[in-house]
Structure 1
Amino acid sequence: MAKVLLIEDDSETAEAIAAGLTDRGFEVDWASNGIEGLNKARASQPDVVILDRQLPGMDGLDVIWSLRQDRMRKPVLVLSALTGVEDRVRGLRTGGDDYLTKPFALVELAARLEALLRRPAETRETVLRVGALELDLIERTVRRGDRQITLLPRELRLLEYMMRRSGQSLTRAMLLKDVWNYNFVPDTNLVDVHMGRLRHKVDGPGETPMIYSVRGVGFILRETASNPHAPATSSLSGCG
């Protein structure tokens, strides 16, 4: 039985959601404001969080940001009466995993929760290593050999994603979905810009490149450039 934390200030809406999800086999806990919801999320570690975008006490996006700062990786579904594209994008960029606009059908809400819960949990290593590159997930620090690398939060998330999938070609669509939480592919060079900045930090002067572009596919991070079985690639010198 999956544990759901529902953070919703409207009691009638909360009761309807809780009843509908309980009937479908979920265990539902309810918080009526952002501060209470944040405290409950930290204390109970639910399997999934549903929260309203506009909450008293603490805005829903601030709740998500605080949970992500706590390194809580459980999925978060945002409910909102705000239907604009910019509102949806802001909710996803803050750290939400899905966004459902009001009014909605309970059957769709339940289906979205089931989809979020099916996503495989990432492994629990505290330090990731690919060759001389090391990322400490607790301290949020990066080193390549003896060299300390300073990264911005989004760059850290991007590098973590790539290190967990080292040697795997990653498409822009994959990166937009899993790193930026887009559920669609916008017409943007966002990935290329961030990838270029990340490469310039990871691949220092005189060092063997680790981040490459894969022509017609996307990008790859690998330990060395000398693997004879590696896919044909070209460097990112034109990015950023």
Structure 2
Amino acid sequence: MKNDKNARILLVDDEPHILQFLEMGLVEEGYRIATAPDGMTAVNLAGEFQPHVVVLDVMIPGMDGFETCRLLKKKGADMAVIMLTARDEVEDRVKGLKLGADDYLVKPFSFDELLARIEARLRNQFPSLFGEVALGPFRLDDRRREIVFMDRVLELSPTEYDLLKYLVINHGIVLSKSKILDAVWGYDFGGEENIVEVYVRSLREKLNDKEHRLIRTLRGAGYRVDLP
């Protein structure tokens, strides 16, 4: 889906062919793009370019991606940061989240998945770019914290709202329980992962999703929302 909202994306990677590939694809999607080969250039450029989303490689020369993320978030708290890492290690994920990262992708990744993550971050953190977001049978209004399903306003608790919004905005993406906990409950949540199952069960009841066609369970992987 083409983007016509002038959303700005800053790409940070020291590999020119990756920057070129991502820039070409995102420009084709209608985004305004700036690129940086290292962290210091990215931080300086962010002040002028004011990106909505930063796609940031962890392994960049000089100042690494973690320190770059910290400085970018200090410069603009609303700026969404998606970190790219070659290692899917829990320590890297937690470290990035503690420094303000909003999402992460493990290399190698598909362009379509990165595009989906960018769109999700924009809808989640910059709803004013879109107003009310319509996704399949859902309409999300973040200003009113209201979700309409099949023309029916859902009666949701604050946590149910946050969880359903996260699942719907990331439709088509498999989300593990740990990733959901980080996004909805926070990386410092000290409870059990099973709380996700409890809330998913409640959402399925409110959506009349008895056959789990909307919120699918992928055994050993997590959950995925499939929109009709």
Normalised TM-score (structure 1)? 0.53
Percent identity, aligned pairs only? 36
- Gap change, CA 1:109 and 1:191, over 3 Å in 2: closer
Amino acid at match of 2:107: K
Q: Deviations over 1:18-48 (max 9, x none)?
A: 1111121112111001100111112211121
Alpha-carbon contact 1:48-1:74 (below 8 Å) kept? yes
Q: Deviations over 1:97-142 (max 9, x none)?
A: 110010011011111101100014499xxxxxxxxxxxxxxxxxxx
Amino acid at match of 2:77: M
Normalised TM-score (structure 2)? 0.55
Unpaired runs of at least 5, structure 1: 124-164, 194-215, 218-240
- Gap change, CA 1:87 and 1:120, over 3 Å in 2: closer
What's the secondary structure of 2:54's corresponding residue? strand
Structure-2 residue corresponding to 1:224: none
What's the secondary structure of 1:57's corresponding residue? coil
Match of residue 180, structure 2, among 178, 184, 199: 184
Structure-1 residue corresponding to 2:116: 111
What's the secondary structure of 1:73's corresponding residue? coil
Unpaired runs of at least 5, structure 2: 1-5, 129-144, 146-155, 167-177, 192-197, 200-228
Structure-1 residue corresponding to 2:102: 97
Q: 1:23, 1:45 → 2: CA distance?
A: 20
Structure label with greater radius of gyration: 1
Alpha-carbon contact 1:79-1:100 (below 8 Å) kept? yes
Q: 1:78, 1:89 → 2: CA distance?
A: 12
Amino acid at match of 1:47: H
What's the secondary structure of 1:183's corresponding residue? helix
Q: Deviations over 1:131-189 (max 9, x none)?
A: xxxxxxxxxxxxxxxxxxxxxxxxxxxxxxxxxx9xx97549969xx9xxx73327999
Structure-1 residue corresponding to 2:87: 82
Q: 1:58, 1:189 → 2: CA distance?
A: 24
Q: 1:189, 1:98 → 2: CA distance?
A: 12
- Gap change, CA 1:12 and 1:84, over 3 Å in 2: same
Structure-2 residue corresponding to 1:18: 23
Alpha-carbon contact 1:172-1:191 (below 8 Å) kept? no
Q: 1:24, 1:173 → 2: CA distance?
A: 29
Alpha-carbon contact 1:173-1:185 (below 8 Å) kept? no
Q: 1:120, 1:64 → 2: CA distance?
A: 17
